[in-house]
Structure 1
Amino acid sequence: MRTFIILAISILLPFYTIGQTAKYIISLKGFEVGNQTVTQKVNNGITTVEVSSKATVKLGFTYTVSYHQLAHYDNQRLIESRVTIKKNDEIYSTSHTKWTGDHYRVMQDGKSFQIPGELHFATTRLYFQEPSTEHQRIYSEADCVIKLLEKSAAHTYWVSEPQTNRKSKYTYKNGILQEAVVDHALIDFVTKLHSYTP
């Protein structure tokens, strides 16, 4: 009987799924405008991160933006990511990044290009993994560009765009993203952790 149990565990263990969920509140100028849910699952060595958010913004006129992203990693390496952004329920932007064996094929809003080498840290990693000193660059799957990543204080990091002066700040506690202040040119969106389920 004992041998059977050990055998059963050894067969089932590689397929065991480990998951965690973080829920965030999105605010603009101190007012709550939406929410975001991020889930991460690890199954048989493949990490899948799904991000879903929806926010309604009033800036002269009212519009609702929804964001959905699904990313897959194999042993820390990004292997595929899909992003869909909708504005007032109509598709505003899409992107698809996929590892092909020696480079990434990127399709963004109908335009195709390549990124050489492997990407080991992308924006979907920011939710459940605090950056380390080895991470100095980060791939933005929505913008399809590589940004700069730098530590500014204990558990606090800046993500900046090389071609602009915009900087976004990310703050962590126990390895989980607590707050992100995202610079969108004229306005800053704040995403703050509401609940976390390991």
Structure 2
Amino acid sequence: MLLKRLPRLRDTAVDPREAFAGTFHVAEGYGQLAAAHAQAAAGEPPAVPPSEIYCHSLTDPTILGPGLAARGYQTLTLFGLHTPARLFARDNDGVREELLKSTLAQLDAHLAEPLADCLATDAEGRPCLEARSPLDLERDLGLPGGNIFHRALSWPHTQDGTGRWGVETRHPNVLLCGAGAVRGGGVSGVPGHNAAMAVLEAGES
């Protein structure tokens, strides 16, 4: 989403630029996560959907054009949790809209003003907000089930017990260096490290 300004937090004097500088956790208490997981496992969208928000433009203003950055615009990226692809199979558009409303309501509960009042609008006056379900991500980006790790993770070992580093494939000269590695870790660089170690280890044998 594109914001014309960052929202202020309710009942606090914290500068919004500080509040949104890291990972902003919403409805992620242990009990909330457990309840959301149980509802999703039962085939229902979580009533109180947990989420995490990132304001990447605070870290890297070049994400935006110079004009928008100079006027104080910001981007927010929200990751909804416990919303597997199967929840959207019966009505992708309807469930996406339902979860969008309930997720934003959880965020609004922490804000001094509705997020809708902070959203930028396009040339036709529509709010600059884009929501994508796991099925949308699979269709548009080829992510199986919308999974950012490209498959279900396995921890801490491969399912069949093979593969010392968790990056091996059935092809000896092909290693996984990204989020699709057995243990995931897309932004950590761990898969790249493990792939390098696998190469070095193979060279020694």
Q: Report the TM-score, using the length of structure 2 for normalisation.
A: 0.29
Between structures 1 and 2, the one with greater helix share: 2
Q: Report the TM-score, using the length of structure 1 for normalisation.
A: 0.30
Which fold has the larger relative contact order, with Cα–Cα distance below 8 Å and residues 6 or more apart in sequence? 2
Based on CA coordinates, which of the two structures has the bigger radius of gyration?
Answer: 2
